[in-house]
Structure 1
Amino acid sequence: MSEAGALLFARYAYPPNLLGYCGPPDAHSLLSSPADEIARRARGFEGAWPYLEFLAARTGLHDPLDERVVEAYWVGNELVGKPSPADLHDFLRDRFAGQVGGTWVSAGDRAVVHHSFHVFEVYPWAALLRRTGNPAAVTVLDRCRIRTGTVTSVAGETATVVCRPLIWDGSALRAGPPLSEQVTWSANGQSLLPVPSAGDRVALHWHWICDILTDDQVEELQSRESRQLSRV
């Protein structure tokens, strides 16, 4: 098991776990547990873990928490495109049997091992938005995706970040004008990140900073999301 991969998983998985949306109880232990305990808890994330298992097996890396596998799922890298869409679709059809409301059942030609696919095709919110135009669906999709932003200031355990929220124009989702929002990077002195600085480009999940990104990672994450939005 990769310690670096386990810690990377915890960074991205902690925000929805804290809100009770995914994973086992006691989310705060992700911030303080050793890597082997994070690995044990990671198996309880019924959304992310199947993708990590699948990608590790198909790329010969074998460890679902290999850092390259974890980065591929949350951010994106060269591993994402290695399994065929049809192979992943067959796998998901078994693992997510009974999951209804999304568009993944008909996604045999476009399924990819990336969080954006899970958010926009496995979860029901994008399909609900198309049917009803419910603005609550836009909010959920915007917060649940891994989005990018730029830090403008830091105060204690919070930071102000400029990012582009998703907007719905009645027929498509797209990135809206830049807005500032206040987010969290640490809780009661516990964090898996160094203190962010103004100018840092970061990954955001719900109301948390998950990672400090390179320019290449920002481009990769944004291109993966653009691809997904163009297809759904």
Structure 2
Amino acid sequence: MGRVSAVPVPQPRAAAATAATSSRRSLAAALFLGAVGATVVLLAAGRIWAEGTASVGGGSVSLDASGSDVTGVPTALAVVGLAALVAVFAVRRAGRLLVAALLSLSGAGAATAALLGASDTGALDEKAARTTGDAAATVEALSHTIWPYVTAAGGVLILLAGLLALRYGRAWPSMSGRYERDGSPRARNERPVDPDRPEDLWKALDRGEDPTREG
């Protein structure tokens, strides 16, 4: 009785399956990191970043400055990052790379601005001058909170989302490629994917399809 041998799975099909799985995971990770990072930045920038006192009439008054008092850059860049995260799926090819780069720069800029603002005294000095009526007044007993660093961490998450988009975004699906202007799914006229043809598998991935799924 002859020995029955297993039929090997074509290598291109296995490679395409691995690529599809990697694409889905990187997409989910980028969406999670970008959304969480922007939320962290927006929330942390509204918290108190610095505290101190100012001398008034022989006494002292407590002063504090929120992140938005110190710098509005992290908040603005978080909004830009959210817009870029959505726009990644509306463009393709070179446009997607540009938007992914903008997403990365937004995260890096937000983190840098937050770290620079962590030791800033300008906002509290301005409040001290207004409170005392003395333009030369400065804040005393200055202390900083952890919130600038939390904001910077949110910026780093946005940066990581951008780096994932730069690295894997080319294989992600595109809204413009899956839907027409009226929002209805576009009819597909492409010929069936041949698992033995690597070019067919990569074209299917570029269209956002799973080439390993049975028809």
Superposition TM-score tier, normalisation by shorter sequence: under 0.3
Higher helix proportion (structure 1 or 2): 2
Q: TM-score when scaled to structure 1? A: 0.20
Q: TM-score when scaled to structure 2? A: 0.22
Higher strand proportion (structure 1 or 2): 1
